[in-house]
Structure 1
Amino acid sequence: MKKIDSIPTNKVERVAKLVTTGVKVGGNYLKYYGEKVVNPNLTKDKLHENNAADIYDGLKELKGSALKVAQMLSMEKNLLPQSYVEKFSLSQFSVPPLSAPLVRKTFKNYFKKYPEELFDEFAPDSINAASIGQVHQAKKYGKDLAVKIQYPGVRESISTDIALVKPIAVRMFNLQGTSDEYFQEVEDKLTEETDYQLELKQSEAVRKECEVIENLKFPSYYPELSSDKIITMDWMKGVHLSEFCKTEVSQDKRNKLGQTLWNFYMFQIHQLKKFHADPHPGNFLVDDQANLIAIDFGCMKQIPDSFYKPYFEVSTPSALANADYFKEKLVELEILKPTDSTKEIEFFTAMFHELLTVFTEPIHKPEFDFANPVFFGKIAALSEKFANDKQLRKMNGNRGSKHFIYVNRTFFGLYNLMFDIKAKIKINDFEKYLS
């Protein structure tokens, strides 16, 4: 794989890269429409494939929050054509790494020492490279270690990347009026992910608080070998979650892994009220006993009680059956607004009732089989329905508390992982760990 010797960090460079990418995408459309004149039955499959490749190629050179967008989109299996999902999934743990000279320079800049001065052994080539940093193998204290190094300029480019994405998102999702708090929430979380000292503290806290959960493992961390831009932890043996899902394993192992993942998230959400908000396969390993290994806690989301209570109250069967109570909770969650017209109130009440009726189906049953394609078919059908809803496009899509962004993202990500695992689990099993 080609290595990267530099990353565009200033606004002009990053805008130029995105403009170049846009020109390529525009060319793909022109080619498609030209061919369609000759062949009216031509599908958009090749167009999507070419666009996905060009967009990903542009983002992977920018890395940082730009590539993180691709990583987040790769989890939205029901919202994107499959070619985008497949290409963007590469951003989860497999992108072009930094070259060895740039790694040494980066290490010297951030730690004031070269890696060989700190470790007994240090592999110059990375094992994994993702959106914000890449991982190298090292040895010290007689142990195998994983050393994650942050790419140069990632934190400094976040504001620029958000500013570039914002007008596109506002247009795509019809975010009329103020949407600043949404983008500020994303910017704040991305900024936290670039603070490796914070990640070190969060990782240790989660490890201690969640050690009661069976079949769940965490690496130990080494503060003396970590800094703002470098974090060192135990090297954990296992395969990435996505690789595990592709292998031929017994249903018992799939159920064991799925139950552990579900219990891990439900315990965090309902006990700690703070949870790992980046549920993509690159953040989890699976060992040969089907134990789950959690390895990245850069993105954590705190849920305030003012959001937690109505969020879970609105999704109960009794709430869904009580129209007045349901509307009351939608107001608390800022989905319905004081300025809404009668038409808007009726539309969004019906829309969210339909969404929640489907989305909360798993938590209303004692057991749920995430291998059942019917449930995910319902979600896909709703996604397609609302994506093509002309009435929705005319209405203000700026709906809901800012806390929805990472809470909903986490549930969607968790559901997708559970579907990939094909696990059948006991929904309330996590309650045995609650205090």
Structure 2
Amino acid sequence: MPTSKKVPTSTLSRSVITGAAVTKIGLKHAGYKVRKAFSAKNANDTNAQTKNTEQSQQQHEEQIGELVFTVLSQLRGTAIKLSQLLSMETDILPETIRNKLKSACHEVPPINRALVRKQMVQELGNTPKQLFKEFDSEAFSAASIGQVHQALSFNNEKLAVKVQYPGIGATIDSDLKMLEKLFWLLAKTTKNMPKKQVFTLVLAEIKNRLSEEINYKNEARNLNWFGQEMKLNGIVIPKVNQQLSTTRILSMEMLNGQHLDKWLDNKPNQLQRNALGQKLFDFFWYSALTLKKIHADPHPGNFLVLGDEQLGVLDFGCVRSLSDDFVDSFTAMMPKIVDSYIFNKNKKALFTSYQALKFIDHSVDFNTFESKIFPDLQYYGQWLGQAYVSKTFDFTTKTPCPGKPDNVSGDAVKFLSGMYSEQPCFDRAHLGLMNLLTQIGANIVTDYSKFITAK
């Protein structure tokens, strides 16, 4: 694994990295437009022209994705967290770019041993050699705001020690401003990108979550809480070593297994896929409806398939509590989504649920909902409702999450009056779950109602 000798922490150094990437993207896109215009001018066969254009666009997006990933890997922190987020958002980025950004989930160049040693001394008051019986100075995993090392405590506990990148908290605000410019330029390179305000909303939420994630004491509390409260069989949550953990160092039980991508490379059979998919589904809905607190970062790098096929869950820095009102309103809405979008009935009940969830103001009447809002939402509503039509669903048949179709008016956005504060985080986690189950190709029981707690 290549090692980064120095983490860029100053605004100037990070601006230089981003500026260089912006220039390269701009030049590459300009060259692509020239080639596209030349090809169109000299093409005689319309079908061949269309095919060549599609291939050229895909190749261009792959090259842009490579450039974006390179700069995000250098910046780390907020940048990588954004990369992870966008890799899961099927309606945000084209598939060719998302596939490249997925590698940001758990394949980031680590910092060198000198910086690790310095961080250990500052946080725990001693060097790794004095703190641990054994400590592997080479990280086995590098993620958005920290990297993980294997270690053995003096009590012979096998540990995964997460070390936060130095200066990470100081880069959040500057990164958000630079990355907004970077992705706005990216939007100009392909027709498959949303409007600028979408990125603005995404970046604002990342800022809120990162303020929690950079404090490893918060993650330690989350690990302990979920470890005590999680009663599902087959779910394993690492135990925290409190004596070897601080705000920027987190030592926890080492879980040995494979990330989902690696596990899938080994071609598991359908029964294995079903069993793992059921664990993922049950973990999400048990957390949401019984515990009313969700692990809000469901990308492949945060799940391990253990040797006994149990599911190891990692990275509890991003956790979201759900209010009783939100949970009640959302679960009441789900059957109405199926009725309205799948079977085209009971639209008034769905309208009432949208008002309860604060999507639509009470000043909006049903006729407006039916004529201007419902048509824009039906594509996503049908996609969401697919998995919940019956008590089982085969995710090998699930269609990709739709972006905005060309024939919708966009009127629905005009009537959006607000939402519960936990809605964006819940939606992203739910979407991440759907994408993971589709990637696995699981055929599972999707009756989430068994996790609703009686009052």
TM-score of the two chains, using structure 2 as the length reference: 0.85
In the alignment, the residues of structure 1 paired with residue 203 and residue 364 of structure 2 have an alpha-carbon distance, to the nearest angstrom, of: 23
* Alpha-carbon offset, residue 433 of structure 1: 9.3
Alignment check: 8 A CA contact 1:78 1:383 kept: yes
Counterparts of 1:244-393 in structure 2, within 5 Å, are: 244-317=263-336, 320=340, 321-337=345-361, 346-372=371-397, 375-377=398-400, 379=401, 382-385=402-405, 388=406, 391-392=409-410
Contact 2:285 2:451 in 1 (8 A): no
How far apart in 2 are the matches of 1:252 and 1:169? 41
Q: Secondary structure at the match of 2:396?
A: coil
Q: Which residue of 1 aligns with 2:174?
A: 160
Task: Please say if 1:126 is aligned against 2:139.
Answer: yes
- Structure 2 stretches lacking a partner, 5+ long: 41-48, 188-193
- Per the TM alignment, residue 391 of structure 1 is displaced from its structure 2 partner at its CA by 3.4
Select the residue among 87, 91, 106 that pairs with 1:93: 106
Q: 1:161-205, CA deviations, whole angstroms, 9 ceiling, x for partnerless residues?
A: 3344457889953649xx998755432211111110010010111
Amino acid at match of 2:20: T
Aligned twin of 1:242:
261
- 8 Å CA contact retained: 1:265, 1:275: yes
What is the CA-CA distance between 1:254 and the residue it aligns to? Answer: 1.2
Structure 1 residues 430 and 222: CA distance shift in structure 2, 3 A = farther
AA of the residue aligned to 1:426: V
- Between the aligned partners of 1:28 and 1:338, the Cα distance in structure 2 is 49
Cα gap change, 1:364/1:345 in structure 2, threshold over 3 Å: closer, same or farther?
closer
Letter of the 1:370 counterpart: F
Q: 1 CA distance for matches of 2:373 and 2:435?
A: 25
Identity of aligned residues (%): 26
Q: CA deviation at 1:96?
A: 0.7
Q: Secondary structure at the match of 1:376?
A: coil
Tell me if 1:213 matches 2:218: no
The one-letter code of the counterpart of 1:132 is I
Tell me, in whole angstroms, the C-alpha distance in 2 between the residues paired with 1:187 and 1:265: 23
Tell me: CA distance 1:26–1:175, structure 2 relative to 1, closer, same or farther (3 Å). closer
CA deviation digits over 1:70-105, x for unaligned, max 9?
111111245433331221111111111101112112
Matched AA of 2:295: H
> Is 1:113 paired with 2:138?
no
* Structure 2 residue identity aligned to 1:187: K
Equivalent residue for 1:64, pick from 62, 77, 89: 77
What is the aligned counterpart of 1:150 among 140, 150, 164? Answer: 164
Q: Is the 8 A contact 1:127 1:137 kept in 2?
A: yes
In the alignment, the residues of structure 1 paired with residue 300 and residue 259 of structure 2 have an alpha-carbon distance, to the nearest angstrom, of 6
Amino acid aligned to 1:329: S
Query: Is contact 1:283–1:294 with CA below 8 Å preserved after alignment?
Result: yes
CA contact (8 A) 2:147 2:165 kept: yes
Distance in 2 (CA, whole Å) between partners of 1:158 and 1:355 is 32
Rounded Cα–Cα distance in structure 1 between residues aligned with 2:225 and 2:318: 13
Q: d(CA) in 1 for partners of 2:254 and 2:292?
A: 29
Partner of 2:12: 12
Match of 1:229 in 2: 248
Choose from 209, 212, 231 the match for 1:189: 209
Write the letter of the residue equivalent to 2:171: S
Partners of 1:366 and 1:426 within 8 A in 2: yes
Code of the residue aligned with 1:265 in structure 2: it is: F
Q: Which residue of 2 aligns with 1:413?
A: 432
Deviations, residues 270-305 of structure 1 (Å, cap 9, x unaligned): 001111000011111102332111122111011123
What residue identity is the alignment partner of 1:72? L
- Give, as a single letter, the amino acid of the residue that structure 2 aligns with 1:82: E
Closer, same or farther: CA 166–308 of 1 in aligned 2, 3 Å: farther
Cα distance in 2 for partners of 1:85, 1:183 equals 17
CA contact (8 A) 2:299 2:432 kept: yes
- What are the Cα deviations for residues 350-399 of structure 1, in whole angstroms up to 9, with x where unaligned? 32344223302212311111122xx224x3xx3151xx457329965966
Residue 119 (structure 1) shift: 0.3
Match of 1:35 in 2: 35
- The verdict on how the C-alpha distance between 1:389 and 1:24 changes in structure 2, with shifts beyond 3 A counting, is farther
Alpha-carbon offset, residue 307 of structure 1:
2.3
Distance 1:396 1:22, change over 3 A: farther
Amino acid of the structure 1 residue aligned with 2:116? V
Q: Distance in 2 between matches of 1:27 and 1:248?
A: 41
Secondary structure of the residue that 1:383 maps to in structure 2? coil
Specify the code of the residue in structure 1 equivalent to 2:58: D
Give me the TM-score of the superposition, normalised by structure 1. 0.89
